[in-house]
Amino acid sequence: MSAMGAAPADLLHRSVNTWGLVYDAARMLRRLADRHGDPFVLPTLDESYVVTGDPRHVAAIFSADPDVMDPPSGVVEPLLGDETVVLARGARHRRKRKLLAPPLHGARMKAYGDVIAEAARGAFRGVAPGEAFEVLPRTQRLSLDVIVRAIFGLTDPGAIERFQSSVSEVIDRFPAWLMFSPWLHRPMGGVGPWDRYQRSTRRLLDQLREEIARARSASEGRDDILALLLSARDEDGAPLPEPELLDELRTLVIAGHETTATTLGWALYRLHQNPTVLGRLRDELGPLGRTPEPSALSALPYLGAVCDETLRLQPIVPIMARRVARDWTLDGHVIAAGTMICPAVMLTHFDPRLYPSPSEFRPERFLSWRPSPGEFYPYGGGARRCLGAAMAGYELKVALGSVLAAYRFDGVPGPAIASVMNGVTTRPARPIRLVACTSTPG
């Protein structure tokens, strides 16, 4: 067996690798995989990671005993809280997933279809014909509108705006450079980056506490996600303790808001850079009219393929992470307990053996081929696959279909837009802009 490839581990290379993860993770990971093979060791200023994009290795990680693969607590704990399901382990993790899953799947999930469609049409309303506009602020408003309606039952525009302000501030004040610099996670007289981030977090948590109190004092008849979580009981009849409930709510709000909004923005960008694909999708949408039923949209095959291809090219989390709880073997290599092992989505999703011409936007590749869990994993995989994956996929299809059925836009010429890291997620390096057309679908 050959030794695992490793990037140089001196201070200079650790620094370069750390900032490479922050500013252009996809390019750096591809370069290192080409140079050192797969899997390879990636030294950073924080620690060294074992990185792989090989579908066989990814599948092995996702199918490993869940008690062997712990969550990467140090990276996202400041953002999501130490009680979140994302960081829970063992039996506690399984208990929390069982409690949280019902509102995000099946009939309950589909009950939010009209809310999603209405929010999608409303987010793009009021753009004057011929006007160029930024897409992401509108998709962010759309996403948060859906979240606060579905989770808290809120419809008041002022309350929705306050949540949008708080969530955006938390995300903006915890950028990738701060996330991957734990030595900066300390007070600095009230003026440092950590101080500013903590103030933003307290503001959001105060709003969540207000919504919990409102839900507890409300009369019967609420059917939003918060009401369902308050009534949920584990196998011993115990409810979610409030510290856990707070962290689960902020996980739902932060993760759901950022990921769906950004993916929808990328989908609109990719479609308007590829008129043939856009035309084919409009042909599929046409018979449904300008206000299609969510159930009809969720059943459209080409719309689903467009969403999958967007998630392949622009995965919101470009690299996953698990901490190995005890010595574990991957393809003959012994991975020592405590090591962080990372399936690299951007390596797998751009593997030309799986995806010919991987940089091209070709939704049709998903019409005749269903990738395995190790070949396509925008929401992760295994026992720790994103709990809201089904909801996110449903929302993306209904929102994108509703927007395109109701409006017509033109793309704005210019150089291709790259993605950059924003915490653990990615976002466009510069604004995505479209132009509203005078004509609309009939």
pLDDT digits (tens, 9 = 90+) for 202-215: 999 999 999 999 88
Per-residue pLDDT, 120: 96
Which DSSP helix (H) or strand (E) runs through 250?
helix 242-273
Amino acid at the residue 105: H
Per-residue pLDDT, 107: 79
Between 156 and 243, the higher pLDDT residue: 243
| Structural domain contains residue 441 | no
Per-residue pLDDT, 425: 79
Our count of domains for the chain comes to 1
Give the best-scoring range by mean pLDDT among 36-40, 76-80, 159-163: 36-40
Q: In sequence order, what are the residues at sequence separation of 6 or more whose Cβ sits closer than 8 angstroms to the Cβ of residue 54?
A: 38, 39, 331, 348
Taking 80 as the threshold, does the pLDDT of residue 67 lie above it?
Answer: yes
pTM of this structure: 0.92
Taking 50 as the threshold, does the pLDDT of residue 442 lie above it?
Answer: no
Phi, psi angle pair for 81, to nearest 5°: 95, 155
Taking 50 as the threshold, does the pLDDT of residue 1 lie above it?
Answer: no
Please state, as a whole number, how many other Cβ atoms lie within 10 Å of the Cβ of residue 104: 22
| Structural domain contains residue 207 | yes
| Structural domain contains residue 265 | yes
Taking 80 as the threshold, does the pLDDT of residue 437 lie above it?
Answer: yes
Per-residue pLDDT, 293: 97
| Structural domain contains residue 442 | no
Mean pLDDT of the chain, nearest integer: 90
Pairing between β-strand 40-43 and β-strand 48-52 as defined by DSSP bridges? antiparallel
Give the best-scoring range by mean pLDDT among 89-98, 161-170, 321-330: 321-330
Containing domain of residue 320, as a range?
A: 5-436
pLDDT digits (tens, 9 = 90+) for 305-333: 999 999 999 998 888 999 999 999 999 99
Per-residue pLDDT, 439: 52
| Structural domain contains residue 215 | yes
Of the candidates 51, 29, 46, the one whose C-alpha atom is nearest the C-alpha of residue 177 is 46
| Structural domain contains residue 301 | yes
Mean pLDDT over residues 409-434, rounded? 88
| Structural domain contains residue 231 | yes
pLDDT digits (tens, 9 = 90+) for 251-282: 999 888 878 999 999 999 999 999 999 999 99
Angle at 271 between CA 278 and CA 115, to 5 degrees: 90
Between 374 and 441, the higher pLDDT residue: 374
Per-residue pLDDT, 118: 95
Indicate which CATH number applies to the domain containing 28.
Answer: 1.10.630.10
Of the candidates 74, 71, 75, 77, the one whose C-alpha atom is nearest the C-alpha of residue 93 is 71
Instruction: Work out the pLDDT band at 438, boundaries 50, 70, 90.
Output: low
Per-residue pLDDT, 134: 97
Per-residue pLDDT, 156: 82
Q: Which of 109-113, 155-159, 412-416 has the lowest mean pLDDT?
A: 155-159
Per-residue pLDDT, 62: 97
- Which stretches of 266-422 are assigned E, i.e. beta strand? 322-324, 328-330, 333-335, 340-343, 409-411, 419-422
Mean pLDDT over residues 332-340, rounded? 93
Per-residue pLDDT, 230: 87
| Structural domain contains residue 181 | yes
